[in-house]
Chains A and B, each alone.
Chain A
Amino acid sequence: MSHIHIPDGILNYNLWIGALLITFAILFIILRTINKDEVMHKIPYTGVAAAIMLLGMSVPLVIVPVHLSLAVLTGILVGPKLGFIAVFIVNVILALFGHGGITLIGLNTLIIGSEVLIGYSIFKLLAKKGRYIMGTMVATVVAVIISMSLMVGVVATTGHLSEALPHSCGHDHGEEQILDESNEVNVYDHHHDFHEELEDVHYLAFTGWTAVGLIFAAGLLLESIGTTLIVKYFMKVRPGLISAVETQQNT
Protein backbone atom coordinates (compact mmCIF):
# COMPACT_ATOMS: atom_id res chain seq x y z
CA MET A 1 0.00 0.00 0.00
CA SER A 2 2.98 2.28 0.47
CA HIS A 3 3.06 4.67 -2.35
CA ILE A 4 4.58 8.09 -2.22
CA HIS A 5 2.50 10.91 -3.46
CA ILE A 6 4.64 13.94 -3.90
CA PRO A 7 4.05 16.36 -6.73
CA ASP A 8 6.76 16.69 -9.37
CA GLY A 9 9.29 19.38 -8.75
CA ILE A 10 9.73 18.97 -5.02
CA LEU A 11 11.98 15.96 -4.67
CA ASN A 12 15.70 16.28 -4.56
CA TYR A 13 17.27 15.48 -7.95
CA ASN A 14 19.79 13.06 -6.47
CA LEU A 15 17.01 11.12 -4.86
CA TRP A 16 14.69 10.62 -7.78
CA ILE A 17 17.33 10.29 -10.47
CA GLY A 18 19.26 7.87 -8.24
CA ALA A 19 16.16 5.80 -7.62
CA LEU A 20 15.39 5.76 -11.32
CA LEU A 21 18.89 4.54 -12.14
CA ILE A 22 18.68 1.80 -9.50
CA THR A 23 15.32 0.77 -10.92
CA PHE A 24 16.79 0.54 -14.42
CA ALA A 25 19.71 -1.47 -13.08
CA ILE A 26 17.38 -3.93 -11.35
CA LEU A 27 15.24 -4.20 -14.47
CA PHE A 28 18.36 -4.84 -16.52
CA ILE A 29 19.48 -7.60 -14.17
CA ILE A 30 15.99 -9.16 -14.12
CA LEU A 31 15.76 -9.14 -17.90
CA ARG A 32 19.22 -10.66 -18.19
CA THR A 33 18.63 -13.43 -15.70
CA ILE A 34 15.14 -14.63 -16.49
CA ASN A 35 14.56 -17.69 -18.58
CA LYS A 36 13.27 -16.33 -21.88
CA ASP A 37 11.06 -19.28 -22.77
CA GLU A 38 9.36 -19.35 -19.44
CA VAL A 39 8.92 -15.61 -19.49
CA MET A 40 7.30 -15.72 -22.90
CA HIS A 41 4.65 -17.88 -21.32
CA LYS A 42 4.27 -15.43 -18.49
CA ILE A 43 4.09 -12.19 -20.44
CA PRO A 44 0.29 -12.25 -20.66
CA TYR A 45 0.22 -13.25 -16.98
CA THR A 46 2.37 -10.29 -15.97
CA GLY A 47 0.46 -7.90 -18.18
CA VAL A 48 -2.77 -9.02 -16.62
CA ALA A 49 -1.32 -8.60 -13.12
CA ALA A 50 -0.23 -5.07 -13.98
CA ALA A 51 -3.65 -4.34 -15.43
CA ILE A 52 -5.28 -5.48 -12.19
CA MET A 53 -3.05 -3.15 -10.17
CA LEU A 54 -3.89 -0.31 -12.55
CA LEU A 55 -7.57 -1.08 -12.26
CA GLY A 56 -7.28 -0.94 -8.51
CA MET A 57 -6.01 2.59 -8.87
CA SER A 58 -8.49 3.79 -11.44
CA VAL A 59 -11.75 2.22 -10.43
CA PRO A 60 -12.91 4.10 -7.39
CA LEU A 61 -14.18 1.66 -4.82
CA VAL A 62 -16.64 3.95 -3.17
CA ILE A 63 -17.49 1.31 -0.68
CA VAL A 64 -14.32 1.50 1.32
CA PRO A 65 -12.43 4.75 1.05
CA VAL A 66 -9.10 3.06 0.44
CA HIS A 67 -8.28 0.25 -1.90
CA LEU A 68 -5.75 -2.52 -1.93
CA SER A 69 -2.49 -2.19 -3.81
CA LEU A 70 -2.16 -5.96 -4.07
CA ALA A 71 1.63 -5.77 -4.32
CA VAL A 72 2.24 -8.77 -2.05
CA LEU A 73 -0.46 -10.71 -3.84
CA THR A 74 1.18 -9.90 -7.16
CA GLY A 75 4.46 -11.25 -5.78
CA ILE A 76 2.75 -14.44 -4.64
CA LEU A 77 1.06 -14.91 -8.00
CA VAL A 78 3.68 -13.96 -10.57
CA GLY A 79 6.90 -14.13 -8.58
CA PRO A 80 9.27 -11.33 -7.56
CA LYS A 81 10.98 -10.66 -10.88
CA LEU A 82 7.93 -10.33 -13.05
CA GLY A 83 6.19 -8.68 -10.11
CA PHE A 84 8.85 -5.98 -10.10
CA ILE A 85 8.40 -5.46 -13.84
CA ALA A 86 4.63 -5.21 -13.36
CA VAL A 87 5.11 -2.59 -10.64
CA PHE A 88 7.43 -0.58 -12.89
CA ILE A 89 4.94 -0.70 -15.74
CA VAL A 90 2.08 0.42 -13.52
CA ASN A 91 4.13 3.37 -12.31
CA VAL A 92 5.14 4.41 -15.81
CA ILE A 93 1.55 4.29 -17.02
CA LEU A 94 0.38 6.27 -13.99
CA ALA A 95 3.04 8.88 -14.66
CA LEU A 96 2.19 9.06 -18.34
CA PHE A 97 -1.34 9.93 -17.41
CA GLY A 98 -0.29 12.70 -15.10
CA HIS A 99 -1.46 10.67 -12.16
CA GLY A 100 1.72 9.56 -10.50
CA GLY A 101 4.45 12.07 -11.08
CA ILE A 102 7.23 11.46 -13.54
CA THR A 103 9.89 12.03 -10.89
CA LEU A 104 8.42 9.29 -8.73
CA ILE A 105 8.64 6.38 -11.15
CA GLY A 106 11.91 5.12 -9.73
CA LEU A 107 11.15 5.65 -6.05
CA ASN A 108 7.69 4.16 -6.18
CA THR A 109 8.87 1.19 -8.22
CA LEU A 110 11.58 0.48 -5.66
CA ILE A 111 9.27 0.86 -2.69
CA ILE A 112 6.36 -1.17 -4.06
CA GLY A 113 8.84 -3.55 -5.67
CA SER A 114 10.36 -4.22 -2.25
CA GLU A 115 6.91 -5.09 -1.01
CA VAL A 116 6.56 -7.60 -3.84
CA LEU A 117 9.93 -9.21 -3.13
CA ILE A 118 9.63 -9.34 0.65
CA GLY A 119 6.04 -10.53 0.56
CA TYR A 120 6.90 -13.24 -1.92
CA SER A 121 9.92 -14.48 0.04
CA ILE A 122 8.15 -14.70 3.38
CA PHE A 123 5.12 -16.32 1.84
CA LYS A 124 7.26 -18.87 0.03
CA LEU A 125 9.02 -19.75 3.26
CA LEU A 126 5.80 -20.32 5.17
CA ALA A 127 3.91 -21.89 2.27
CA LYS A 128 6.52 -24.64 2.15
CA LYS A 129 5.24 -25.67 5.55
CA GLY A 130 1.71 -25.57 4.26
CA ARG A 131 0.81 -22.40 6.12
CA TYR A 132 -0.79 -20.49 3.31
CA ILE A 133 -3.22 -18.30 5.19
CA MET A 134 -0.89 -17.46 8.04
CA GLY A 135 1.89 -17.07 5.50
CA THR A 136 -0.09 -14.48 3.58
CA MET A 137 -0.94 -12.53 6.71
CA VAL A 138 2.64 -12.46 7.98
CA ALA A 139 4.07 -11.78 4.52
CA THR A 140 1.75 -8.84 3.94
CA VAL A 141 2.23 -7.33 7.38
CA VAL A 142 6.02 -7.56 7.28
CA ALA A 143 6.29 -6.47 3.65
CA VAL A 144 4.04 -3.49 4.14
CA ILE A 145 5.78 -2.41 7.37
CA ILE A 146 9.18 -2.62 5.69
CA SER A 147 8.08 -0.80 2.58
CA MET A 148 6.41 1.89 4.67
CA SER A 149 9.54 2.34 6.71
CA LEU A 150 11.56 2.48 3.54
CA MET A 151 9.28 5.13 2.23
CA VAL A 152 9.41 7.27 5.33
CA GLY A 153 13.07 6.52 5.90
CA VAL A 154 14.34 7.26 2.43
CA VAL A 155 12.31 10.37 2.15
CA ALA A 156 13.04 11.72 5.61
CA THR A 157 16.78 11.03 5.68
CA THR A 158 17.36 12.92 2.48
CA GLY A 159 16.91 16.00 4.55
CA HIS A 160 15.58 18.43 2.04
CA LEU A 161 12.47 16.50 1.79
CA SER A 162 9.24 17.84 2.89
CA GLU A 163 6.92 15.04 3.54
CA ALA A 164 6.51 11.42 3.16
CA LEU A 165 2.92 11.77 2.41
CA PRO A 166 1.39 8.50 3.40
CA HIS A 167 -1.16 7.75 0.87
CA SER A 168 -3.36 4.76 1.34
CA CYS A 169 -3.12 4.38 -2.34
CA GLY A 170 -6.62 5.46 -2.84
CA HIS A 171 -9.17 8.10 -2.74
CA ASP A 172 -8.95 9.04 0.85
CA HIS A 173 -7.58 12.39 -0.16
CA GLY A 174 -9.23 14.16 2.65
CA GLU A 175 -7.17 12.50 5.32
CA GLU A 176 -4.83 14.39 7.52
CA GLN A 177 -1.38 14.99 6.18
CA ILE A 178 1.88 15.08 8.03
CA LEU A 179 4.36 17.81 7.99
CA ASP A 180 8.07 18.08 8.14
CA GLU A 181 10.23 20.85 6.95
CA SER A 182 11.46 21.74 3.57
CA ASN A 183 13.14 24.41 1.65
CA GLU A 184 14.10 22.45 -1.39
CA VAL A 185 11.89 24.63 -3.46
CA ASN A 186 13.34 27.77 -2.13
CA VAL A 187 16.51 27.62 -4.16
CA TYR A 188 17.50 31.16 -3.40
CA ASP A 189 17.91 30.76 0.29
CA HIS A 190 18.49 27.32 1.58
CA HIS A 191 18.80 28.24 5.21
CA HIS A 192 15.93 30.54 5.23
CA ASP A 193 14.24 30.51 8.58
CA PHE A 194 15.77 27.22 9.38
CA HIS A 195 15.33 27.49 13.13
CA GLU A 196 11.84 28.70 12.80
CA GLU A 197 10.99 25.72 10.69
CA LEU A 198 12.74 23.42 13.06
CA GLU A 199 10.43 24.59 15.79
CA ASP A 200 7.52 23.96 13.54
CA VAL A 201 8.75 20.48 13.04
CA HIS A 202 8.80 19.90 16.78
CA TYR A 203 5.38 21.31 17.10
CA LEU A 204 4.04 19.33 14.24
CA ALA A 205 5.92 16.18 14.99
CA PHE A 206 3.40 14.91 17.42
CA THR A 207 0.23 15.45 15.45
CA GLY A 208 2.01 14.67 12.21
CA TRP A 209 3.45 11.37 13.24
CA THR A 210 0.30 10.33 15.04
CA ALA A 211 -1.63 10.90 11.87
CA VAL A 212 0.95 8.97 9.89
CA GLY A 213 0.76 6.17 12.39
CA LEU A 214 -2.99 6.01 12.20
CA ILE A 215 -3.13 6.09 8.44
CA PHE A 216 -0.39 3.48 8.19
CA ALA A 217 -2.11 1.26 10.71
CA ALA A 218 -5.38 1.48 8.82
CA GLY A 219 -3.67 0.79 5.52
CA LEU A 220 -1.70 -2.08 6.98
CA LEU A 221 -4.80 -3.63 8.44
CA LEU A 222 -6.79 -3.33 5.25
CA GLU A 223 -4.03 -4.58 3.00
CA SER A 224 -3.18 -7.56 5.15
CA ILE A 225 -6.77 -8.60 5.83
CA GLY A 226 -7.71 -8.00 2.20
CA THR A 227 -4.78 -9.98 0.80
CA THR A 228 -5.40 -12.81 3.25
CA LEU A 229 -9.06 -12.97 2.34
CA ILE A 230 -8.20 -13.13 -1.35
CA VAL A 231 -5.68 -15.92 -0.77
CA LYS A 232 -8.20 -17.74 1.38
CA TYR A 233 -10.66 -17.48 -1.46
CA PHE A 234 -8.11 -18.92 -3.88
CA MET A 235 -7.37 -21.81 -1.53
CA LYS A 236 -11.05 -22.62 -1.63
CA VAL A 237 -11.70 -22.37 -5.33
CA ARG A 238 -8.35 -22.66 -7.07
CA PRO A 239 -5.59 -23.90 -4.80
CA GLY A 240 -3.29 -24.48 -7.79
CA LEU A 241 -2.89 -20.75 -8.28
CA ILE A 242 -1.31 -20.28 -4.88
CA SER A 243 0.55 -23.53 -4.41
CA ALA A 244 2.30 -22.87 -7.71
CA VAL A 245 4.52 -20.53 -5.74
CA GLU A 246 6.39 -23.50 -4.32
CA THR A 247 7.46 -24.68 -7.71
CA GLN A 248 8.18 -21.23 -9.03
CA GLN A 249 11.76 -20.69 -10.08
CA ASN A 250 11.94 -17.13 -8.92
CA THR A 251 10.65 -15.73 -12.15
Chain B
Amino acid sequence: MEPLIKVKCLKHIYPDKTEVNLCGLDFIVNPGERVVILGPNGSGKTTLLSHVLGLLSPVEGTVEVMGLSPHKDFNKIRKEIGVIFQNVDEQIIGPRVFDDIAFTLRNEGMKKETVDCRVNHISKRLGISEFLYKIPHYLSGGQKKKVALAGALSMNPKLLVMDEPFDALDPKSKREMVSTLNDLNKKEGTTLIITTHDIDIVPSIADVIYIVNKGDIVMKGTPEEVFSRVDILKEANLEPPVIGELFNRLRKRGYIVDTPKNLEEAEELLLMLLEKQKVV
Protein backbone atom coordinates (compact mmCIF):
# COMPACT_ATOMS: atom_id res chain seq x y z
CA MET B 1 0.00 0.00 0.00
CA GLU B 2 1.33 3.41 -0.99
CA PRO B 3 1.77 5.54 2.14
CA LEU B 4 -0.29 8.72 2.45
CA ILE B 5 2.59 10.69 3.92
CA LYS B 6 6.34 10.30 3.60
CA VAL B 7 8.75 12.61 5.39
CA LYS B 8 12.48 12.01 5.11
CA CYS B 9 15.21 13.76 7.05
CA LEU B 10 13.76 17.21 7.10
CA LYS B 11 15.71 20.39 7.73
CA HIS B 12 14.06 23.70 8.39
CA ILE B 13 15.48 27.11 9.22
CA TYR B 14 13.15 29.64 10.86
CA PRO B 15 13.47 33.38 10.14
CA ASP B 16 15.17 33.88 13.50
CA LYS B 17 17.83 31.37 12.29
CA THR B 18 16.63 28.57 14.57
CA GLU B 19 17.39 25.29 12.83
CA VAL B 20 15.20 22.24 13.16
CA ASN B 21 16.49 18.92 11.84
CA LEU B 22 13.90 16.22 11.80
CA CYS B 23 16.04 13.24 11.02
CA GLY B 24 16.29 9.77 12.43
CA LEU B 25 13.43 7.50 11.39
CA ASP B 26 11.24 8.35 8.40
CA PHE B 27 7.78 9.61 9.18
CA ILE B 28 5.41 7.36 7.27
CA VAL B 29 1.64 7.38 7.56
CA ASN B 30 -0.52 4.81 5.79
CA PRO B 31 -4.13 5.46 4.77
CA GLY B 32 -6.61 4.83 7.54
CA GLU B 33 -4.00 4.85 10.29
CA ARG B 34 -4.33 6.64 13.57
CA VAL B 35 -0.95 8.18 14.25
CA VAL B 36 0.04 9.95 17.45
CA ILE B 37 3.19 12.07 17.70
CA LEU B 38 4.61 12.38 21.19
CA GLY B 39 7.45 14.55 22.34
CA PRO B 40 8.38 17.31 24.75
CA ASN B 41 7.78 20.99 24.00
CA GLY B 42 10.06 22.34 21.31
CA SER B 43 10.96 18.87 20.05
CA GLY B 44 9.81 19.63 16.52
CA LYS B 45 6.26 18.26 16.50
CA THR B 46 4.67 21.45 15.24
CA THR B 47 7.43 21.91 12.66
CA LEU B 48 6.72 18.41 11.38
CA LEU B 49 2.98 19.11 11.15
CA SER B 50 3.57 22.46 9.45
CA HIS B 51 5.58 20.72 6.73
CA VAL B 52 2.95 18.06 6.24
CA LEU B 53 0.35 20.81 5.88
CA GLY B 54 2.48 22.68 3.37
CA LEU B 55 2.77 25.75 5.57
CA LEU B 56 6.57 25.49 5.51
CA SER B 57 8.94 24.53 2.77
CA PRO B 58 11.90 22.32 3.75
CA VAL B 59 15.46 23.49 3.16
CA GLU B 60 16.58 19.86 2.89
CA GLY B 61 14.82 16.51 2.85
CA THR B 62 11.56 15.42 1.29
CA VAL B 63 7.94 15.79 2.28
CA GLU B 64 5.30 13.97 0.28
CA VAL B 65 1.60 13.97 0.94
CA MET B 66 -0.56 11.87 -1.38
CA GLY B 67 2.35 11.81 -3.76
CA LEU B 68 2.55 15.61 -3.97
CA SER B 69 4.71 18.26 -2.38
CA PRO B 70 2.39 19.94 0.11
CA HIS B 71 4.12 23.31 -0.11
CA LYS B 72 4.13 23.48 -3.90
CA ASP B 73 0.75 21.91 -4.41
CA PHE B 74 -0.77 23.67 -1.43
CA ASN B 75 -4.14 24.32 -3.06
CA LYS B 76 -4.59 20.73 -4.19
CA ILE B 77 -3.52 19.22 -0.91
CA ARG B 78 -5.40 21.47 1.47
CA LYS B 79 -8.77 20.32 0.17
CA GLU B 80 -7.95 16.80 1.25
CA ILE B 81 -6.78 17.78 4.72
CA GLY B 82 -8.75 18.90 7.73
CA VAL B 83 -6.86 20.72 10.43
CA ILE B 84 -7.37 21.58 14.07
CA PHE B 85 -4.78 23.85 15.59
CA GLN B 86 -3.99 23.96 19.25
CA ASN B 87 -5.72 27.26 19.88
CA VAL B 88 -9.08 26.82 18.20
CA ASP B 89 -10.00 30.43 18.93
CA GLU B 90 -7.54 31.47 16.29
CA GLN B 91 -8.91 29.17 13.66
CA ILE B 92 -12.57 30.04 13.97
CA ILE B 93 -13.05 32.64 11.26
CA GLY B 94 -16.75 32.70 10.63
CA PRO B 95 -18.60 35.29 12.67
CA ARG B 96 -21.22 32.69 13.57
CA VAL B 97 -20.84 28.97 14.10
CA PHE B 98 -22.73 28.27 10.90
CA ASP B 99 -20.53 30.63 8.87
CA ASP B 100 -17.44 29.03 10.29
CA ILE B 101 -18.43 25.49 9.41
CA ALA B 102 -19.47 26.72 5.99
CA PHE B 103 -16.29 28.75 5.48
CA THR B 104 -14.36 26.33 3.26
CA LEU B 105 -17.49 25.12 1.49
CA ARG B 106 -18.44 28.65 0.50
CA ASN B 107 -14.86 29.45 -0.49
CA GLU B 108 -15.04 26.50 -2.85
CA GLY B 109 -18.08 28.07 -4.40
CA MET B 110 -20.57 25.39 -3.42
CA LYS B 111 -24.26 25.95 -3.85
CA LYS B 112 -26.23 27.24 -0.90
CA GLU B 113 -28.30 24.05 -0.65
CA THR B 114 -25.20 21.86 -0.59
CA VAL B 115 -23.58 24.09 2.02
CA ASP B 116 -26.69 24.07 4.23
CA CYS B 117 -27.06 20.33 3.90
CA ARG B 118 -23.43 19.57 4.77
CA VAL B 119 -23.31 21.99 7.68
CA ASN B 120 -26.49 20.56 9.14
CA HIS B 121 -25.28 17.01 8.70
CA ILE B 122 -21.92 17.62 10.39
CA SER B 123 -23.33 19.67 13.21
CA LYS B 124 -25.92 17.01 13.96
CA ARG B 125 -23.22 14.37 14.00
CA LEU B 126 -21.07 16.36 16.41
CA GLY B 127 -24.03 17.45 18.51
CA ILE B 128 -23.64 21.18 17.93
CA SER B 129 -26.84 21.88 15.99
CA GLU B 130 -28.30 23.89 18.84
CA PHE B 131 -25.69 26.63 18.65
CA LEU B 132 -25.28 26.95 14.91
CA TYR B 133 -26.32 30.61 15.06
CA LYS B 134 -24.29 31.57 18.10
CA ILE B 135 -21.25 33.82 17.97
CA PRO B 136 -18.15 31.68 18.62
CA HIS B 137 -16.57 33.69 21.41
CA TYR B 138 -19.35 32.81 23.81
CA LEU B 139 -18.92 29.05 23.47
CA SER B 140 -17.05 26.88 25.96
CA GLY B 141 -13.65 25.42 25.15
CA GLY B 142 -15.12 22.02 24.35
CA GLN B 143 -17.82 23.49 22.14
CA LYS B 144 -15.26 25.58 20.26
CA LYS B 145 -13.18 22.46 19.63
CA LYS B 146 -16.24 20.79 18.17
CA VAL B 147 -16.93 23.79 15.95
CA ALA B 148 -13.34 23.68 14.74
CA LEU B 149 -13.68 19.95 14.11
CA ALA B 150 -16.91 20.50 12.20
CA GLY B 151 -15.15 23.10 10.05
CA ALA B 152 -12.26 20.73 9.46
CA LEU B 153 -14.62 17.92 8.46
CA SER B 154 -16.76 19.99 6.13
CA MET B 155 -14.85 18.92 3.02
CA ASN B 156 -14.83 15.22 4.01
CA PRO B 157 -11.05 15.18 4.26
CA LYS B 158 -9.00 12.04 3.81
CA LEU B 159 -6.59 13.21 6.44
CA LEU B 160 -7.25 14.99 9.71
CA VAL B 161 -4.28 16.71 11.35
CA MET B 162 -4.73 17.84 14.94
CA ASP B 163 -2.33 19.72 17.16
CA GLU B 164 -3.21 19.05 20.80
CA PRO B 165 -6.93 18.42 20.24
CA PHE B 166 -7.47 17.33 23.86
CA ASP B 167 -5.83 20.35 25.36
CA ALA B 168 -8.05 22.28 27.79
CA LEU B 169 -10.92 19.81 27.57
CA ASP B 170 -12.71 18.47 30.61
CA PRO B 171 -12.71 14.67 31.02
CA LYS B 172 -16.17 14.21 29.55
CA SER B 173 -15.44 16.34 26.46
CA LYS B 174 -12.16 14.48 26.08
CA ARG B 175 -13.92 11.10 26.02
CA GLU B 176 -16.45 12.46 23.53
CA MET B 177 -13.68 13.77 21.32
CA VAL B 178 -11.86 10.45 21.38
CA SER B 179 -14.96 8.49 20.48
CA THR B 180 -15.87 10.95 17.70
CA LEU B 181 -12.40 10.64 16.19
CA ASN B 182 -12.37 6.86 16.44
CA ASP B 183 -15.82 6.71 14.91
CA LEU B 184 -14.65 8.87 12.03
CA ASN B 185 -11.64 6.67 11.48
CA LYS B 186 -13.68 3.50 11.56
CA LYS B 187 -16.64 4.59 9.45
CA GLU B 188 -15.06 6.95 6.94
CA GLY B 189 -11.53 5.61 7.01
CA THR B 190 -10.19 9.07 7.82
CA THR B 191 -6.48 9.02 8.57
CA LEU B 192 -5.65 10.77 11.83
CA ILE B 193 -2.45 12.51 12.87
CA ILE B 194 -2.54 13.80 16.41
CA THR B 195 -0.01 15.46 18.66
CA THR B 196 -0.78 15.40 22.35
CA HIS B 197 0.69 15.65 25.82
CA ASP B 198 -2.17 13.67 27.23
CA ILE B 199 -0.42 10.34 27.37
CA ASP B 200 -3.17 8.45 29.16
CA ILE B 201 -5.45 8.95 26.20
CA VAL B 202 -2.94 7.72 23.63
CA PRO B 203 -3.57 3.94 23.82
CA SER B 204 -7.24 4.48 22.99
CA ILE B 205 -6.57 6.64 19.93
CA ALA B 206 -3.32 5.36 18.39
CA ASP B 207 -2.39 2.58 16.00
CA VAL B 208 1.11 3.96 15.58
CA ILE B 209 3.11 6.24 17.84
CA TYR B 210 6.08 8.36 16.82
CA ILE B 211 8.34 9.81 19.46
CA VAL B 212 10.09 13.02 18.56
CA ASN B 213 12.90 14.28 20.75
CA LYS B 214 15.35 17.12 20.16
CA GLY B 215 14.48 17.23 16.49
CA ASP B 216 14.90 13.52 15.89
CA ILE B 217 12.24 10.92 15.28
CA VAL B 218 13.58 8.46 17.84
CA MET B 219 10.98 5.73 17.87
CA LYS B 220 8.05 4.33 15.98
CA GLY B 221 5.81 1.53 17.15
CA THR B 222 2.46 0.35 18.40
CA PRO B 223 1.35 1.68 21.79
CA GLU B 224 2.44 -1.60 23.41
CA GLU B 225 5.88 -1.39 21.87
CA VAL B 226 6.39 2.25 22.63
CA PHE B 227 5.12 2.26 26.17
CA SER B 228 7.28 -0.69 27.11
CA ARG B 229 10.42 1.32 26.22
CA VAL B 230 10.50 3.34 29.39
CA ASP B 231 14.14 4.33 28.74
CA ILE B 232 13.30 6.12 25.48
CA LEU B 233 10.22 7.69 27.02
CA LYS B 234 12.17 9.00 30.02
CA GLU B 235 14.80 10.48 27.74
CA ALA B 236 12.09 12.35 25.87
CA ASN B 237 10.68 13.61 29.16
CA LEU B 238 7.62 11.41 28.72
CA GLU B 239 6.02 9.03 31.12
CA PRO B 240 4.12 5.94 30.07
CA PRO B 241 0.37 5.98 30.74
CA VAL B 242 -0.49 5.02 34.29
CA ILE B 243 -2.22 1.83 33.18
CA GLY B 244 0.70 0.86 30.97
CA GLU B 245 3.17 1.53 33.75
CA LEU B 246 1.12 -0.56 36.17
CA PHE B 247 1.10 -3.54 33.85
CA ASN B 248 4.81 -3.08 33.12
CA ARG B 249 5.51 -3.38 36.81
CA LEU B 250 3.27 -6.42 37.05
CA ARG B 251 5.24 -8.04 34.24
CA LYS B 252 8.49 -7.27 36.03
CA ARG B 253 7.11 -9.14 39.03
CA GLY B 254 6.58 -12.17 36.87
CA TYR B 255 2.93 -11.88 35.88
CA ILE B 256 2.29 -12.70 32.26
CA VAL B 257 0.01 -9.90 31.08
CA ASP B 258 -0.34 -7.77 27.94
CA THR B 259 -0.60 -4.00 28.19
CA PRO B 260 -4.29 -3.08 27.94
CA LYS B 261 -5.44 -0.29 25.62
CA ASN B 262 -7.94 1.32 27.93
CA LEU B 263 -9.52 1.23 31.34
CA GLU B 264 -12.07 -1.42 30.39
CA GLU B 265 -9.41 -3.79 29.08
CA ALA B 266 -7.32 -3.20 32.18
CA GLU B 267 -10.29 -4.02 34.36
CA GLU B 268 -10.86 -7.27 32.49
CA LEU B 269 -7.21 -8.28 32.76
CA LEU B 270 -6.97 -7.47 36.43
CA LEU B 271 -10.19 -9.34 37.16
CA MET B 272 -8.77 -12.36 35.35
CA LEU B 273 -5.60 -12.18 37.44
CA LEU B 274 -7.56 -11.85 40.64
CA GLU B 275 -9.86 -14.71 39.66
CA LYS B 276 -6.81 -16.95 39.19
CA GLN B 277 -5.57 -15.95 42.60
CA LYS B 278 -8.94 -16.78 44.06
CA VAL B 279 -8.77 -20.29 42.61
CA VAL B 280 -5.22 -20.79 43.89
Contact = CB atoms under 8 A, between A and B. Distances in A.
A240 interface: yes
B74 to A, nearest CB: 13
Contacts of A238: 16
Interface in A217-251: 238, 240
Chain B interface category by residue count = under 10
Contacts, number: 3
A238 B16 CA distance: 9
A240 B15 CA distance: 8
Contacts of B15: 240
Interface string B7-43: 0000000011000000000000000000000000000
Nearest to B93: A44
A240 B16 CA distance: 8
A240 B14 CA distance: 12
Interface string B226-241: 0000000000000000
B85 to A, nearest CB: 13
Nearest to B15: A240
Interface string A72-101: 000000000000000000000000000000
Nearest to A239: B16
Contacts of B16: 238, 240
Nearest to B90: A44
A75 B209 CA distance: 47
A18 to B, nearest CB: 33
A240 B17 CA distance: 11
Nearest to B16: A240
A208 B232 CA distance: 75
Contacts of A240: 15-16
Interface of A: 238, 240
3 contacts: A238-B16, A240-B15, A240-B16
Interface of B: 15-16
The 3 closest A-B pairs by CB, nearest first: A240-B15, A240-B16, A238-B16
